[in-house]
Amino acid sequence: MAETAQFGAKRVPLAAKQALVNDVFHSVARRYDLMNDLMSLGLHRAWKDALVTAVNPSRTTPFSALDIAGGTGDIAFRIIEAGGAQTRVTVCDINPDMLEVGRERASIYGGDAVVTFAEANAEALPFADASFDAATIAFGIRNVPRIERALAETFRVLKIGGKFVCLEFSSVDVPALDRLYDFYSFNVIPALGQIVAGDAESYRYLVESIRRFPKPQVFAAMLRAAGFARVSFQAMSGGIVTLHSGWRL
């Protein structure tokens, strides 16, 4: 029997999931960051700042980071701003439309000398072993068809002593807020997607994919299985998002 994977609320052949995800991000690329502001009421900025704080790029020595599924460059530019003059970030994303947005932003931002972009699959990273001091992924791991492979690849490209930091939507753990969050997610967000991006269905998928992502304890176990040590996670905003981290030691 052919392997299957979860795509939103339905199961699809595993080999087909990546193409379906690509279609979603092709549709939303140009409005992705604007929609993040609208969907999170601006909170995604604080969440991403927490991720960069956890990365803690050096301000005095060379520091190299890999941002996976970070095509628009949002995380990369934040790391550059937090680090020193010798901080460099490589952005990889499987979706060329998202990368195009990132490259355009880099040219305006003036960061094209310190941020590079590569079209790459998180499950087969085209980088040498032990290449990076840190690796990040923000709101992207749930869209990877084979999460275990992506985690193993991330572990491989980290230097000994390197840190992986992952920001992902999670399960609200505050009574009453969970029902309000569900209503907002399944009703307001697709409507916003239709108004702003002309695409309700892609945002319906993104909401459904959040509900299918492993609970924090389960994802932490997946990190340990991939080889990461000192694995930890921190719920934020009532559990709407969780910040995960682990080290290659």
> Per-residue pLDDT tens for 88-100?
999 999 988 889 9
User: Mean pLDDT, to the nearest integer, of 216-224?
Assistant: 96
Give the whole-angstrom CA distance, residue 132 versus residue 130: 6
- Hey, how many other C-beta atoms are within 10 angstroms of the C-beta on 222? 17
Scan for tokens 């068809």, then name that residue: 145
How far from 183 is each of 13, 170, 171, 176, 187, CA to CA, in Å? 29, 15, 14, 11, 6
Confidence band for 7, pLDDT divided at 50, 70 and 90: very low
pLDDT at site 15: 55
* Through-space distance between the first and last CA atoms of the chain, rounded to whole angstroms: 38
Give me the phi and psi of 106, to 5 degrees please: -65, -40
Helix (H) or strand (E) holding 151, with range, is helix 147-157
Domain spanning 23-248, CATH architecture: 3-Layer(aba) Sandwich (3.40)
How does DSSP classify residue 184? Answer: I
pLDDT at site 27: 52
Is the pLDDT reported for residue 10 higher than 80? no
pTM of the model: 0.84
